[in-house]
Structure 1
Amino acid sequence: MTAVFPARLPVVCAPMAGGPSTPALTAAVSDAGGLGFLAGALLSPEALDGRLSEIESLTSAPYGVNLFLPSAHIAVADEMESYRAALAPIAAEFGVEPGPATPGPDDIDAVIDVVLAHRPAAVSVTFGRPGAELTARVHEIGALMIGTVTSVDEAREAVEDGADMLVVQGSEAGGHRGVFTDDASSPRGGDAMSLPSLLLAVGLSVDVPLIAAGGIMDGSGVVAALGLGAVAAQMGTAFLCSDEAGTSAVHRAALLDRRYRRTVVTRAFSGRPARGLENEFAAQFTASAPAGYPDVNAITGPIRTAATAAGRADVPNLWAGTGWRSVTAAPAADIVARIVAEMETA
């Protein structure tokens, strides 16, 4: 294991696309001794450049950037139009229309150029193999390439491409499942192994450092992950209600609302399996939502945005891992300090 984890503490703030991930949150976690990650997904090259510059104005500590790799799944046009039609009545409630069934062009090449120009300490990728070419470019700037995997096979493929470390994502994780290939016949997104089982299996199959992800909310969870062979734990839900997060008021309130009973894995919001609190939209459309990212994400986008602006928690995605009940509202540095204190007594 030649790669060295680039932070003082074994705590990673997960990249959380769509709002929660901010320069302030990334910098705060890195300043506190962890490794903050900024989500580069869903941002234009210009917007991402600005956010990375902001991080660098806030901290000199190491940070990372995450990218969603282009989807290999080809959406079925008829399925997309049918889903768009099914959502039209809900869209009308907010005075909007569902988004186009065909999203705009992907700027991934320009986004990658922006990321590499800023020379972060680490680049992580989600939704596919890192690829030997991108890995080589990441290594050229002296950064770590970190793959996100949900199975032993994916772990082996990522290491074949030269990944220095792997985020091992268990089924407990909130937000999108990082499966390389989204099989429409698998509602939960692949085998969906629990984190302890997956971490052990991957650890026996590859010889690179592993970062555990999925349902970890406190210091005892970090200690458990380290005991299973991880070098660090990646947490997203634990930081969703931090002061620095860009989490919407609707999402924050839902996370702290004890009326929510469970999380579910659904394609209803984005077309890829993702875990969040079960609200009315998820309950109504999970069974019928087609596979197709980013197409479904584009279709539901105007509806989710309008519902959030209207203060309606029954419609937008409320991403959360299985440990969401332990969410606390506090500065990110305080959350990191609490986790470290809990590790010392675990």
Structure 2
Amino acid sequence: MKTKLSTVLCERLGIEYPIVLAGMAGGPSTPALAAAVSRAGGLGTLGAAYMAPADIREAIRTVRQLTDRPFAVNLFAVDLRDDNSNIEQVQRQLDRARADLGLPPAAEGPLKTADRFEEQLAVVLEERVPVLSTAFGLLPASAALAARSAGMKILAMATTVREAVLAEQAGCDAVVAQGGEAGGHRGTFDVAEHPMGANVGTFALIPQAVDNVRIPVIAAGGVMDGRGLAAAILLGAQGVQMGTRFLVAAESGAHEAYRQALLDSDEESTVLTAAFSGRPARGIRNAFIRQWEDGGTAPLPFPTQNTATRDIRNAAARQSRSDYMSLWAGQGTRLLKEGQRAEEIVAETARQALSLLGG
């Protein structure tokens, strides 16, 4: 039965509710979480940007064992060439954190980040996943053609109307309009133009994007429950993307210390920082971010800063030290509910939105 939640996006992606799970690469994303969201009627997403190609294939097959519903795989469409121009100064700054964690100082010399995008993409195409989504930019034209030829739908994230228009022109089936309230990395295409990302608020971005593109717009940023979904639909969006709300779900891969930091946070806790990865991202301010705010050293560009901080983030996870973890989170963390399963979150969100919309 069709309801007021049965949008064009639902028809295009073959889902029941216009709720998309954010990719959340780097730990929180698990096959169990993606499958649970899809089973509940939304679009689960596997955040695969940091995964080895063989692991992506295994994860995709695991999702398919857990559900026969549509799901997405998210990759980073971005230049992964390293910039080591200030590596010595940055490493000395990072050594402060290493000392606190009991790690040795960084070795001298440049860093090299593995660029596995082509191999990752090849796996996704071979596995013919239903939906391929990107962050930080658009798929190369040849990759987009290959995806469409394989029968896949394509989503892209945008932080401005101009980026949304570019996504439409590139043939995307829908665009995620990411407001400044969103947790995690900003999806801004050109961080040279917007060093801390374009941060138009969700409430302002969505109707302007809707008025300037013909493809479905998916609202992201600050959406934590059915009120956010209903508001997004009233603003003209055809659905929402939710990440932070699912970080404390039972199926999330988020570290226990990360979960606790989320539950202890509020709307004043997060800041935009490039300290962890070299790209602007919203997360809970902790000791690591404060060191960078006080240190006077600019982080290296992505992906080199991300590579440089990996040993710190890994050690922090082993030691359950949230003060040195990248605690990505949006601004709506007071609305988190501990102990829910992902399917409950989807059902509750849809039920509340339907009630508000009179569906």
* TM-score with structure 1 setting the length: 0.94
- Where does residue 175 of structure 2 map in the other structure? 166
Alpha carbons of 1:281 and 1:302: their partners in 2 closer, same or farther (altered >3 Å)?
A: same
1:67-86 maps to which residues of 2 (within 5 A)? 67-71=75-79, 75=83, 77-86=84-93
Mapping of residues 269-288 of structure 1, within 5 Å:
269-286=276-293, 288=297
Structure 1 residues 197, 74: closer, same or farther in 2, change over 3 A?
A: farther
| Alignment counterpart, residue 133 of structure 2, candidates 113, 124, 129 | 124
- Deviation of residue 276 (structure 1)? 0.5
Q: RMSD of aligned C-alpha atoms?
A: 2.0
**The 10-residue stretch of structure 1 (157-166 or 92-101) with the greater mean CA deviation from structure 2:** 92-101
Cα distance, 1:95 vs structure 2 = 3.0
1:218 matched to 2:225: yes
Q: 2:331 aligns with which of 322, 326, 331?
A: 322
Are 2:343 and 1:343 equivalent residues in the alignment?
no
Partner residue in 2 for 1:41: 49
- How far apart, in 2, do the equivalents of 1:89 and 1:255 lie? 25
| Moved >3 Å (runs of 4+) | 97-101, 258-261, 286-289
Instruction: Select between 39-48 and 256-265 the one with higher mean Cα deviation.
Output: 256-265
Matched, 1:152 2:165: no
Counterparts of 1:296 and 1:327, CA distance in 2: 30
Distance in 2 (alpha carbons) for counterparts of 1:187 and 1:302: 25
Residue 255 of structure 1 aligns with an amino acid whose one-letter code is: L
What's the counterpart of residue 106 of structure 1? 115
**Percent identity (aligned):** 38
Contact 1:237 1:321 in 2 (8 A): yes
Does the 8 Å CA contact 2:249/2:342 hold for their aligned counterparts?
yes
2:311 to 284, 302, 322: 302
Q: CA deviation at 1:107?
A: 1.1
CA distance in 2, matches of 1:219, 1:260: 19
Aligned to 1:50: 58
* 1:88 counterpart = 2:95: yes
1:266 aligned partner: 273
CA distance in 2, matches of 1:260, 1:314: 18
Cα deviation, residue 180, structure 1: 0.8
Equivalence for 2:23: 15
Q: CA deviation at 1:168?
A: 0.6
Question: What secondary structure, in the 3-state scheme, does the structure 1 residue paired with 2:323 have?
Answer: coil
Specify which of 55, 58, 67 is matched with residue 59 of structure 1. Answer: 67
Q: SS of the counterpart of 2:133?
A: strand
1:292 is the counterpart of 2:295: no
Q: Match for 2:256: what amino acid? A: A
Q: Which amino acid aligns with 1:89?
A: R
The equivalences for 1:250-265 within 5 A come to 250-258=257-265, 261-265=268-272
CA distance in 2, matches of 1:107, 1:134: 14
Partner residue, 2:5: none
For 1:155, the aligned partner's letter is: A
Residues 219 and 341, structure 1, Cα contact 8 Å, conserved in 2: yes
How far did 1:155 drift? 1.4
CA contact (8 A) 1:10 1:233 kept: yes
C-alpha contact (below 8 Å) 2:82/2:304 kept by paired residues: no
Matched with 2:344 is 334
CA distance in 2, matches of 1:114, 1:263: 35
Query: Where does the alignment leave 5 or more consecutive residues of structure 1 unmatched?
Result: none
C-alpha contact 2:265 2:284 (8 A) present in aligned 1: no
Shift of 1:92: 2.4
2:266 and 2:347 mapped to 1: Cα distance? 29
> Gapped runs of 5+ residues in structure 2?
1-7
What is the alpha-carbon distance in structure 2 between the residues aligned to residue 261 and residue 171 of structure 1?
A: 14
Query: Any conservation in 1 of the 2:89–2:297 contact (CA below 8 Å)?
Result: no
Deviations for 1:224-249, whole angstroms, at most 9, x for unmatched residues?
A: 11111111100000100000010001
Q: How many Å separate the matches in 2 of 1:288 and 1:203?
A: 40
What is the deviation of 1:137?
1.0
Distance (whole Å) between structure 1 residues aligned to residue 96 and residue 178 of structure 2: 36
1:197 to 184, 204, 218: 204
Does residue 236 (structure 1) correspond to residue 246 (structure 2)? The answer is no
| Equivalent of 2:216 in 184, 209, 219 | 209
CA contact (8 A) 2:287 2:323 kept: yes
Tell whether the 8 Å contact from 2:82 to 2:112 is kept in structure 1 after alignment. Answer: no
- Deviation, 1:205, is 1.5
